[in-house]
């Protein structure tokens, strides 16, 4: 079974990055293979056009190679890649919509929906709670959802999330906190009884 890896090997990435900078094509390919899937998934949560997303991700890599000599080494390579993909899609989106309604930087919206790990649920009460939680999660504002996704599914730190979403540390932390707070409040209200009955651990 494949684990969803939260922390990633920073050392390896930096080694790859430095070799890439020195013009090593093999390292470039390795980095590409390592993160392409994740980046496509992330990109797809902003745009239903799979092809354009592929284009954007490939452009990000192409630019890294072309401008490798002048690039600063990022603290966390994965965070840098995710953020570059996000920026590129935002730019594309703006360009396509120049004469339409919105042109702000957060004009792209995180359309992704979390799903439920059904294989790991074996009783009905759990299923019910998890399903309800899942609905609450997916009903959160897009930015809160994205912050949660970046923090807990992609393993970015609050700092990195702040940078990606172009807000300060406090706002990023608030995004995460508020998301979970809403969940907890809603959840307690309607589920304490069921949880109490089913788990018996109170």
Find out whether 110 and 104 touch, Cβ atoms under 8 Å: no
Pick the closest to residue 14 from 72, 67, 66 (CA basis). 72
Task: List the structure tokens of 93.
Answer: 């989106």
Residue 148 is a binding residue for another protein (CB under 8 A)? yes
169 binds another protein (CB under 8 A): no
Contact 144, 175 (CB under 8 A): yes
176 contributes a contact to another protein by CB under 8 A: yes
Q: Which two tokens stand for residue 34?
A: 């390592």
Q: For residue 109, state whether it binds another protein (rule: CB under 8 A).
A: yes
Q: Which residues contact 40 (CB under 8 A, 6 or more apart)?
A: 50, 53, 54, 57
From 18, 111, 168, 185, residue interacting with another protein (rule: CB under 8 A): 111
Work out how close the CB of 15 gets to another protein at its nearest, in angstroms, rounded to a whole number: 20
Three-state DSSP class for residue 72: coil
Of the pair 3, 72, the CB lying nearest another protein is at 3
**Smallest distance from the beta carbon of 187 to another protein, in angstroms?**
8
Report how far residue 159's alpha carbon sits from residue 151's, in angstroms, rounded to the nearest whole number: 10
Nearer to another protein, 121 or 167 (CB): 121
CA 61 – CA 33 distance, rounded (Å):
11
Per the CB < 8 A criterion, the answer to whether 130 and 121 are in contact is yes
Nearer to another protein, 58 or 171 (CB): 58
Q: Can you give the binding site for another protein, defined by CB under 8 A?
A: 1-7, 29, 32-33, 36-37, 40-41, 47-50, 54, 57-59, 61-63, 65-66, 93, 96, 98-100, 109, 111, 114-117, 120-121, 126, 129-131, 133-134, 137, 148-149, 151-153, 176, 180, 183-184, 187, 195, 199, 201-202
């Amino acid at each position: 079974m494949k684990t969803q890896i939260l922390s990633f090997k920073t050392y390896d990435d930096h080694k790859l990055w430095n070799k890439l900078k020195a013009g090593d094509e093999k390292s470039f390919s390795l980095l590409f293979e390592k993160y392409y899937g994740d980046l496509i998934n992330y990109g797809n949560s902003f745009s239903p056009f799979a092809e354009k997303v592929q284009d954007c991700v490939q452009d990000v890599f192409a630019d890294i190679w072309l401008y490798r000599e002048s690039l600063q080494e990022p603290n966390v390579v994965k965070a840098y890649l995710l953020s570059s993909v996000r920026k590129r899609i935002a730019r594309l989106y703006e360009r396509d919509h120049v004469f339409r309604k919105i042109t702000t930087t957060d004009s792209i919206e995180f359309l992704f929906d979390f799903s439920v790990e059904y294989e790991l649920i074996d009783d009905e009460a759990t299923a019910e709670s998890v399903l309800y939680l899942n609905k609450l999660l997916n009903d959160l504002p897009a930015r809160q959802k994205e912050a949660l996704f970046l923090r807990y599914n992609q393993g970015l730190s609050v700092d990195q999330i702040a940078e990606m979403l172009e807000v300060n540390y406090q706002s990023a932390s608030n995004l995460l906190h508020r998301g979970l707070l809403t969940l907890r409040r809603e959840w307690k209200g309607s589920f304490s009884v069921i949880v109490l009955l089913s788990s018996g651990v109170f």
